Each structure stands twice: as structure tokens, then as C-alpha cells.
Amino acid sequence: MKSPSRPRAARRAAFTLIELLTVIAIIGILAAIMIPTVGKVRGMANDAQCKTSLRQWGMAMQLYIDDNKGRLPGPCPVYIERQLDPVNPDDTGNRHLFRYLAPYVSLKNHDSGIVPDAYICSAWVRATPNAKRGEVYMLRRPEDSDFFPYGWNTSSPWLYATVIADERWRETVAMIDMDDELPTSDHLTKAPPRPVHGGHRNVLHWDWHVSPRKVTGKKGES
């Protein structure tokens, strides 16, 4: 008697070379679509975070003004370094703006060190060669050399009322993103080599709103 024959195992389906190449091509197309989109979304997130940080410093400045009889913080250097200079109550010379405002953004006890990443532009942190000692903001545009209300050396900072008496005060720069294409002097290694937001720099104005300012492409002008 013949034993019953076993059924043949079904053949496994396999990709042909053409199908495999088609799948690879589709993956490549999807990657080409997705990668620029991801980069754009990341850039938008960096820009939003940068604007939030500037608004935070604007609110801190208003609190300082309220506590100091209407006077701006200062005297200050034109370029704001990230590193917090040591607290010295007897110091009557220049201090970086961050030191004056530290108590108003929960950095009161930072006697040394640097301003944390969360308080400044994340794109600036990544793009600056030496981010721990870099220059984060400029306190005026290069072409506004005659307008510096923060004071310098022995000159006292202005009253806020004097600043807002100017008819264009809402458009005037209080702080602007720093990069090496902005200043007229050479600040290589202390700032990003180019604007970190591409075609614009973010600006804090004297009414504490933040707006993008288009990059002109000419070094020394904003």
C-alpha cells in the first residue's frame, strides 16, 4: 500500500530585483521630502525659542527699571557676553547686562559661571565656536553709534522716560542677535560666523516686543 504523499510546501514569496530597487527609490524620495521639512521645523522651533528668550530679558529689564526709579541697567559694554562677571557691590564700572538682570530671571545666586542654555537662543549655542565665553547680543545696531542709553564707563544709564520720548522708540533696537557679520569690529570665535536664523536677526525693542529684522547682507549693518 502506498503511503499518502505529503503536500508540497508553498514557495515563499520573494522580492524581485526590480521590486527591491523600486522600494529603495521610494525610500529615497520620502527622505528627500522629509529631511528639508525636519530642518525647517527645527529652524522654526529655534526661532520661537530665541524670541521667547528675548521677551524674557525685556520683562526682566522692565522689572529692573521699576526697582531703580525708572533708570535703565548700566553702565554696560555694547556686546553682551554669556559669562556672568562676578558680583561686586562696590563696582561702579561696566558690567554685562546679564549681571544686572540676573536677580529678575532666577539667577540671583550665580556669583560666577554662565547664563544657562534655556535663557538664550539655542541656535546661537550650537553655532558659536566657544559658546561658554561667547557674545550673545548687541545692545544697539552698528549704525546707531550715537544712541546707547545703557551708559558706558562713568556715564550713567538713561531714564526709561528719555528713551520712550523719541517718536521711533518702538522700532529702536534694545537688543539684537549677535553674529560676526553684524559688528564693524572683528569678533571671530566670540559669535556665530553668520546669522543663526538665516535671513533675519531677532530684535528686542524698547516696548519689549520682539520682531525679525531682515539681514541686508552687508557686514556692519543689520
More confident residue, 83 or 213: 213
Predicted confidence (pLDDT) per residue in 127-173, tens digit:
998 888 899 999 987 777 778 899 988 789 999 999 999 888 999 99
Where residue 22 falls among pLDDT bands split at 50, 70, 90? Answer: confident
Whole-model pTM: value is 0.78
pLDDT recorded at residue 177: 95
More confident residue, 124 or 19: 124
The CB-side HSE value for 71 (13 A sphere, CA atoms) comes to: 11
Domain-by-domain residue ranges, the chain? Answer: 21-214
pLDDT recorded at residue 195: 94
Q: Residues for the chain: how many in total?
A: 222
What is the distance of C-alpha 21 from the center of its chain? 43
The CB-side HSE value for 42 (13 A sphere, CA atoms) comes to: 10
What is the residue-wise DSSP string for the chain?
-PPPPPPPPPPPP---HHHHHHHHHHHHHHHHHHHHHHHHHHHHHHHHHHHHHHHHHHHHHHHHHHHTTTBPS-S--SEEESBPPPP-TT--S---HHHHHGGGGT-TT-SSSB--GGGS-HHHHHH-TTGGG-EEEESS-GGGTT--TT--TTSPPPBHHHHHTSTTTTTSEEEEE--TTSSSS--TTTS-SS-TTSSEEEEEETTS-EEEEE--SSTT--
Distance CA 75, CA 93 (A): 7
Contact call for residues 82 and 134 (beta carbons, < 8 A): yes
Predicted confidence (pLDDT) per residue in 53-92, tens digit:
999 999 999 999 999 999 999 999 899 998 887 765 445 5
Mean pLDDT of the chain: 83
Distance CA 135, CA 21 (A): 50
Percent of the chain whose pLDDT exceeds 70: 79
pLDDT recorded at residue 67: 97
Where residue 35 falls among pLDDT bands split at 50, 70, 90? Answer: low
pLDDT recorded at residue 200: 95
Closest CA to 173 of 78, 64, 68: 78
Q: Please determine, for residue 178, whether its predicted confidence score (pLDDT) is greater than 60.
A: yes
Q: Which stretch of 7-16, 101-110, 135-144 has the lowest confidence by average pLDDT?
A: 7-16
Where residue 49 falls among pLDDT bands split at 50, 70, 90? Answer: very high
pLDDT recorded at residue 221: 55
